[in-house]
Chains A and B, each alone.
Chain A
């Protein structure tokens, strides 16, 4: 028995170390590239052991530091507010849907699921949000459209509530006179910490990495999030790559384009804060309150 356990431990570690290495090495390459000398990259390509290091990319970022810090602030704000609101709305919808006895539950689940496959498209969504709700150039524009609640997350949470929250527990609580809100708050949520952490993580990442809302609904540079600032640079690059007829006019702009090392640096400064915040989510990634405790 013990032997079997040890064998499992060993093989699990081996597989996971290999898998982690496959994930971390390319990222390392990215970090190293961001501090490689620009000409060295063009000459020799990306390498783990560059001939020459250089901090040109970060110098450029430092020149823009006030802009970037402001954008960091916006990103943190929308991520915190958005994720919190989103977790609340998502779980409030997911819990009733997880109740098999809810009349109309199946139809509602279908209505929810339908949104995962069909959408009206960008232009109609834009019309609704700007003409009906006037959110252009507001913070709400960065939080609400498309991101606030995702049908996928609701279905995910619903599935978890169905499997991890035993019906008898809810029934006995109901017998004891607990209202639905109380049961949601006192039983369902504490039992579901891992899935709340998971959905919270997904939502947090979605907000942190989102540039689409900023691109569509925001023209005021004061409201640009970090990804908006960074993505504008990337989209200029993409534009020039697909519109080579502009090249004779835009010589000056092309020459000023941030180099490949800079693009790597962009990724690094976007990802580092996530890595710092990540352990916070992991804390909730342990077993939630045990069912026994609730029963008792």
Chain B
């Protein structure tokens, strides 16, 4: 008894300050995230304000029905997943590639200039991005139809009526807009690598390419894994602006642009039903959650150190 008490005391002395440090953050989590979680119940309720959120009737899974009882259910699920997979993979390759190249640049001024420029797209709101895309793709006045296609001897394309081009357009826009942001994270990771590793490798006669493969990538892999796991967690979510504003809500494109978020938005615009929108969010979170648990489990099996939790 006494013995274990002592050990506890020692542990407390050792880790007490660490727990103390976490208090502000944990309090914030409790207030900002966990207290409002009672709202998750809204997904299972028929909300009537006269009865309040607590008093409203439970209705089981009825709020979820509209997500599945539609012929579009397969389409929107497929689109959402495929786009996210493409975003995760292509986004990763581009961001890591650019970060590595940025790190290679010896000229400090050029390096800083590139760094500032590639973050620009991240600063422009999706609505404005949609104008810029429109500036490129407009039928009459678009840069592509007016300048590029005639130069190549091709006929103008009615971009906003042709669903087949949009997977490429949307992936491009997403990578273009987000790569700068992710790139900064990876760059910070690469900068944090101890230069001694490279010096040693250079002495051993390793080529640049070998150094990247054997040193850089393995050492930033915790960050890559973390960002990828988070991407997987949000695999049922999609950037509403990207899929709604950028294709200009054009009905002709729905086959390749309709995703869960846009479907929910369009379906509930008139209804404005909080129960049904909560249900959609709950469904998206749940799927992402299960997938992350699985992936995290796999990561844990391979390398315990890299697991998120």
Decide if A and B touch, CB cutoff 8 A.
yes
**CB distance B120 to A291 under 8 Å?**
no
Give complex CA distance A264, B129 in Å. Answer: 10
Other contacts beyond A24-B117, A26-B124: 11, CB < 8 A: A13-B110, A29-B132, A29-B135, A47-B141, A108-B22, A118-B285, A128-B31, A145-B32, A160-B188, A160-B192, A163-B222
Binary interface encoding of chain A residues 99-134 relative to chain B, with 1 for a CB under 8 A from any of its CBs, else 0: 100110011111111111111110111011000110
**CB distance B37 to A119 under 8 Å?**
yes
Cβ contacts under 8 Å, B219 to chain A: 163
**CB distance A119 to B36 under 8 Å?**
yes
Cβ contacts under 8 Å, B11 to chain A: 103
Q: Does A9 belong to the interface (CB within 8 Å)?
A: yes
**CB distance B128 to A263 under 8 Å?**
yes
The contact sample of 21 A-B pairs, CB cut-off 8 A, is A23-B121, A26-B132, A45-B135, A45-B141, A92-B21, A96-B18, A102-B18, A103-B15, A121-B36, A145-B32, A149-B32, A159-B222, A180-B18, A181-B17, A194-B192, A198-B185, A209-B125, A263-B127, A263-B128, A264-B131, A271-B120
Give complex CA distance A11, B226 in Å. Answer: 29
Q: Does A197 belong to the interface (CB within 8 Å)?
A: yes
B296 nearest CB neighbor, chain A only: A113
Given contacts A16-B98, A160-B192, A195-B188, contact A95 B222 (CB under 8 A): no
**CB distance B29 to A149 under 8 Å?**
yes
Q: Which residues of A contact B (CB under 8 A)?
A: 4-5, 8-9, 11-13, 15-17, 19-20, 22-24, 26-27, 29-30, 33, 44-47, 88-90, 92-93, 95-97, 99, 102-103, 106-121, 123-125, 127-128, 132-133, 144-146, 148-149, 151-152, 154-156, 159-160, 162-164, 179-181, 184, 192, 194-195, 197-198, 201-202, 205, 209, 234, 238, 242, 260, 263-264, 267, 270-271, 274-275, 278-279, 282, 285-288, 290-292
A100 nearest CB neighbor, chain B only: B305
**CB distance B21 to A16 under 8 Å?**
no
Tell which of A121, A238, A274 has the most Cβ of chain B within 10 Å. Answer: A121
Cβ contacts under 8 Å, A124 to chain B: 35-39, 42, 53
**CB distance B188 to A92 under 8 Å?**
no
Q: Does B253 belong to the interface (CB within 8 Å)?
A: no
Give complex CA distance A112, B112 in Å. Answer: 34
**CB distance A12 to B104 under 8 Å?**
yes
Q: Does B28 belong to the interface (CB within 8 Å)?
A: yes
Q: Which residues of B contact A (CB under 8 A)?
A: 11, 15, 17-19, 21-22, 24-26, 28-29, 31-40, 42, 53, 97-98, 101-102, 104-106, 110, 112-125, 127-128, 131-132, 134-135, 138, 140-143, 176, 179-181, 184-185, 187-189, 191-192, 194-196, 207-208, 219, 222-223, 226, 230, 233-234, 269, 274, 277-278, 281-282, 285, 288-289, 292, 305, 308-309
Residue in contact with A285 in the complex, picked from B53, B115, B124, CB distance below 8 Å: B115
**CB distance A149 to B39 under 8 Å?**
no
Secondary structure at the A interface, as helix, strand, loop or mixed, is: helix
Residue in contact with B115 in the complex, picked from A118, A270, A282, CB distance below 8 Å: A282
Secondary structure at the B interface, as helix, strand, loop or mixed, is: helix
**CB distance B121 to A26 under 8 Å?**
yes
Residue in contact with A271 in the complex, picked from B114, B123, B308, CB distance below 8 Å: B123
Given contacts A30-B124, A93-B25, A160-B192, contact A128 B269 (CB under 8 A): no
**CB distance A12 to B184 under 8 Å?**
no
Cβ contacts under 8 Å, A263 to chain B: 127-128, 131
**CB distance A20 to B117 under 8 Å?**
yes
Cβ contacts under 8 Å, B223 to chain A: 156, 159-160, 163
**CB distance A23 to B120 under 8 Å?**
yes
B104 nearest CB neighbor, chain A only: A12
Tell me how far the C-beta of A292 lies from the nearest C-beta in chain B, rounded to whole angstroms: 8
Give complex CA distance A15, B24 in Å. Answer: 44
Given contacts A125-B32, A148-B28, contact A116 B128 (CB under 8 A): no
Give complex CA distance A163, B219 in Å. Answer: 8
**CB distance B21 to A12 under 8 Å?**
no
Cβ contacts under 8 Å, A290 to chain B: 194-195
Give complex CA distance A180, B15 in Å. Answer: 8
Given contacts A19-B98, A124-B53, contact A155 B226 (CB under 8 A): yes
A48 nearest CB neighbor, chain B only: B143
Residue in contact with B185 in the complex, picked from A156, A163, A260, CB distance below 8 Å: A156
Tell me how far the C-beta of A13 lies from the nearest C-beta in chain B, rounded to whole angstroms: 7
Residue in contact with A123 in the complex, picked from B132, B134, B274, CB distance below 8 Å: B274
Tell me how far the C-beta of B286 lies from the nearest C-beta in chain A, rounded to whole angstroms: 8
Tell me how far the C-beta of B262 lies from the nearest C-beta in chain A, rounded to whole angstroms: 13
**CB distance A125 to B116 under 8 Å?**
no
**CB distance A234 to B127 under 8 Å?**
yes
Cβ contacts under 8 Å, A292 to chain B: 196
